[in-house]
Amino acid sequence: MKLHELRDNPGATKTKKRVARGPGSGKGKTAGRGIKGQKSRSGVAIKGFEGGQMPIYQRLPKRGFTKPNRKQYAVVNLGMIQKFVDAKKIDAKNPVTEDVLIEAGLVRRKLDGVRILAKGELSTKLSIEVTGASKSAIEAVEKAGGSLTVTTAQAAE
């Protein structure tokens, strides 16, 4: 086999249909666009236009609502706090505040506060002070012999 003998498989390539190149091409004169009108001109793409029929985005109901002033909390699971206590990154003797969690690297930034969730096991007695916590998280901390205080300093805003 030589370089000049290389060929693509039959049917692998197709020649582009050349429109507006005479009557013999089958797509001559108006190039399959019909006569006159907006869509026969160049540079026209009518997105969402359904020929005068009510478009689907107007037929379907609007749903949902995004609260513009919603609070966004940094979420921490109890299992992760336990992991950091075991790794000696959090001191179990001192109260665990939001600043302690940031220092340890468990939370990147406070946002509107830190919220504790109950995923994972907590076996260490801890005193935790955060902006928010789930009921099950509070129960889990108290079951481990610690206390979880929810501060409402953010609620005054």
Over residues 110-134, the pLDDT tens digits come to: 889 999 998 988 888 888 889 999 9
Domains and CATH numbers, the chain: 74-156 (3.100.10.10)
Strand partners, 128: 96, 148
CB 90 within 8 A of CB 100: yes
Over residues 54-85, the pLDDT tens digits come to: 999 999 999 988 888 989 999 999 988 888 88
pLDDT at 153: 56
CB 100: neighbour CB atoms within 10 A?
18
Over residues 79-105, the pLDDT tens digits come to: 888 888 888 888 888 888 889 888 888
Rounded CA-CA distance 48/37 in Å is 18
Who contacts 125 (Cβ-Cβ below 8 Å, separation ≥6)? 92, 144, 145, 146
